[in-house]
Chain A
Amino acid sequence: MPIKDNDISQDLELFVKESIAAGMPFAIHGGGSKDFYGNPVDAGPLDVTAHSGIVSYDPTELCITVRAGTPLNELESLLAEHQQVLPFEPPQYTDKATIGGAIATGISGPRRAYSGSVRDAILGVQIINGEGEIVNFGGQVMKNVAGYDLSRLIVRSLGTLGLILNVSIRVIPKPERDLSLSFEASQEDALAFFQDLRLKLLPVTATLWKDGKVYIRFSASEKILQSTQQKMASEHKLDEASVTDDFWQNIRDHKDDFFTLSDKPLWRLSLPPTSDNIVRINDPQLIEWGGAQRWVNSNAPANIIHSIASSRGGYATAFKRRQAGCAVFPVLEPNLLHLHRQLKRKMDPHNLFNPNRMYQGV
């Protein structure tokens, strides 16, 4: 199915200008698949899903420019036709998820630890700024240092600095084949294995530990995967049963039992990958990105979870099923928060875009 080609930037520009005149902030949303991510916004909704389509795509340039409302699944299929993928493997928590939402939240999937994050892949953006003007930053080329890097700043700004119209993203060649293996390991052994792996030059594209098992995905040519499998088999007692094709997709999209069966709050811990195993809480954990991203379903008080993360040099987000009154993001140091507020005030002087979605005043 071809991606719907629909440019509504003029309408959106008019809407923003009118909102400035009326002093009416708004809450931007795409497919709504990540509505839970951030503080509730006390403003009328602005749906940008209609702004969809491919602006330009030339596979040999390894770059695609796409309108923010384009559904991720359609974008993914188009790239697959040309043997390419998005390096950051963005989650599709629902089939409505859009590329604009992926950029605004900066949430990446399993491949992130091995081929970079959303911000690593961004080359340029077109936004409507705080004065209701359409402006472009960055571009479609791989290297660009003209002016401040506002395209990277837009990534994970949660729509608080401008309304994203188009993005140009670096894409990468899709490896010929994937091979996923699993073996039994304690959490401690898994972390040691991940640590070892970082110094090897194996074609890893995803790692995971849960329920006493390590899962690992390699992506390369048939021949290289064969020898990789042999290497792995000589060092670990690999499970006979193969890891199913949709395993990583279910992890990416939080459709795996770990994410769906619990009714406890879901926390995301972003830690230095070298951090040791967490024993202070008993709840089940799921580890990704070689130890850098850890998920836990837990009723433990927020301050305990935050201190587990910060004592290791990381931070925690109350991702889903938050307890009432629990903030999504950890508190920033006063100096840093001040800079955030300054930047927000300067880039969004009329306080239009998703007010307070990230922090009070940001």
Chain B
Amino acid sequence: MPLDLNTKNDLIFRLGEILPPASLITKEEDLKPYECDGLSAYQRLPVAAVLPDTIEQVQQIVKVCSQLQVPIVARGAGTGLSGGALPHEGGIILGLSRFNKILDVDLKSQTARVQPGVRNLAISEAARPFGLYYAPDPSSQIACSIGGNVAENAGGVHCLKYGLTVHNIQQIKIVTIDGELITLGSETLDTPGYDLLGLMTGSEGMLGIIVEIVVKLLPKPHAVSVLMASFDKVEDAGNAVAAIIAEGVIPAGLEMMDKPAIHAAEAFAKANYPLDAEAILLCELDGDAEQLAEQICLVDKTLLNARASNIVIAESAEEQAKLWAGRKSAFPAVGRISPDYYCMDGTIPRKQIAFVLQEISRLSEKFDLGVANVFHAGDGNLHPLILYDANKEGELEKAEQFGAEILELSVKVGGTITGEHGVGHEKIDQMCVQFSPAELTQFFAVKSAFDPMSLLNPGKAIPTLHRCAELGAMHVHNGELPHPEIPRF
């Protein structure tokens, strides 16, 4: 709902009392950069964008919005891929980009205390002189903010062994919708009471504003090796993933790319990928020299048994960087071969990878849209990139429908609609497929414990039962309507 003029004027006047003019953006042309996040298919202008640089300002802003009942959408770097930071038409964008300081790096406790707007990669850069690094490394790490990472529980290539954001943070400070500052977690390994730090992680800006984070840092591994295995069949590559894990090895990273992704990445990054392979696996192993030698041996044998047609072992840092460069630039690379692409994010049990990839190529034929697969195979986290052209009538809708079917397939084989990108605005309808009305109601209960008036990023992540009911016709299971208790219109 748009804001009525009185409230709008009141809001802007009161925000102006808190912030200097340069930190309060209200002109339409200046608001443009905030109209979407990384999922640019959806755009909306907010009433205003504010760029505070102190926690006190955040508290005051939240209090004003709370009094005037104006929605608040927090925004980090705006690289989110699910429309999480998409503005609310009657609300403000609370941008955290000016909270960009690393407050402290401590070797003894192996932690860094940082502001939420700090870029993910900047933390590892600041930790490097101490021989430490921050493990979760989303492909967007040069741009995305640590606050956004916490809000999405972001993952990355190295999460298979070192865990997701939730496993790598110790403490956060949040501003609640009442404007109170609360510390969750601590520098100990546990805290009394409920695990609210865990609950906040991945809550997509709907429970509170994250204003400070203490992250854990790890010592750099002594030795690293990257193996690249080529396969003549996509299914073999999928099965090789399950086989490696079954051997008891947990690689630092285990990524897979199919032929279209290999070709796009090779053209873009010249990584020396085999162009005749149907799929490749990139497997990074690390540890001390001895542990590493043992693992390489085991993985090499497993890959051969799983019918790898060729295995390259990159020992030098340059060779390794080259192999990873292809993977890390896969998204922009695909962006070059297709006018538009739509990135999906379902997670499935590893043993289903081969089957699901077959189904995706079947759907690709059905919708007559290309697809490139590049993903965190070790975690079973798929990223099919659906290729389409937004300028062609109906292609976006077709791509969305294709994506929706992939997500429903993920749920069907025992997985989830999102592994790391979040639900946001984009996948809200698929939430109706994954969760029952009772479960959705439970989510609303949690939300209302933190934000009773639903002002923090309203309308995202959790669909109302009403919305699901309206959608119901799309998802008739066993001839039953999913939400018979809700009146239809």
Q: What is the interface of chain A, defined by CB distance below 8 A to chain B?
A: 58-63, 83, 106, 112-113, 116-117, 119-120, 129, 131, 133-137, 139-150, 152-153, 155-157, 161, 172-174, 195, 198-203, 220-221, 223-224, 227, 270-274, 289, 292-293, 313-315, 317, 329-330, 332-333, 335-336, 339-340, 342-343, 345-347, 358-359, 362
Contacts and interface: CB of A to CB of B under 8 A. Distances in A.
A135 B450 CA distance: 21
B425 to A, nearest CB: 14
B190 to A, nearest CB: 6
Nearest to B201: A149
B98 to A, nearest CB: 25
A329 B193 CA distance: 8
B435 interface: yes
A61 B349 contact: yes
A144 B416 contact: yes
B266 interface: no
Contact of A315 (B192, B245, B349, B418): B192
Interface string B347-360: 11111000000000
B314 to A, nearest CB: 21
Interface stretch (B12-20, B57-65, B273-281, B283-291): B283-291
A141 B219 contact: no
B489 interface: no
Contact of A145 (B109, B152, B290, B447): B152
Interface string B410-427: 000011111111110001
B315 interface: no
Interface of B is mostly: loop
A342 B442 contact: no
B446 A150 contact: yes
The list of the 4 closest CB pairs from A to B, nearest first, reads A173-B248, A152-B198, A143-B419, A60-B246
Contacts of A289: 189
Nearest to B152: A145
B188 A143 contact: no
A143 B442 contact: no
Contacts of A335: 176, 180, 182
Interface in B399-457: 414-423, 427, 431, 434-436, 438-439, 441-443, 445-450
Interface string B97-118: 0000000000011100000000
A145 B418 contact: yes
B332 interface: no
B187 A272 contact: yes
A272 to B, nearest CB: 4
Contacts of A274: 108-109
Interface of B: 108-110, 131, 152-153, 155, 159-160, 163-164, 166-167, 176, 180, 182, 184, 186-196, 198-199, 201-203, 207, 219, 221-222, 242-243, 245-246, 248-250, 287-288, 290-291, 294, 347-351, 376, 379-381, 414-423, 427, 431, 434-436, 438-439, 441-443, 445-450, 461-462
Nearest to B202: A145
A221 B155 contact: no
Contacts of A152: 166, 195, 198-199
B53 to A, nearest CB: 24
B303 to A, nearest CB: 16
Nearest to B154: A145
Contacts of B131: 199
Contacts of B415: 139, 141
A332 B193 contact: yes
A259 to B, nearest CB: 19
A201 B194 contact: no
Nearest to B181: A335
Nearest to B430: A146
Nearest to B376: A143
Contact of B350 (A60, A221, A342): A60
Taking each of A149, A330, A335, which has the highest tally of chain B beta carbons within 10 Å of its own beta carbon? A149
B188 A201 contact: no
A29 B250 CA distance: 36
A148 B434 CA distance: 13
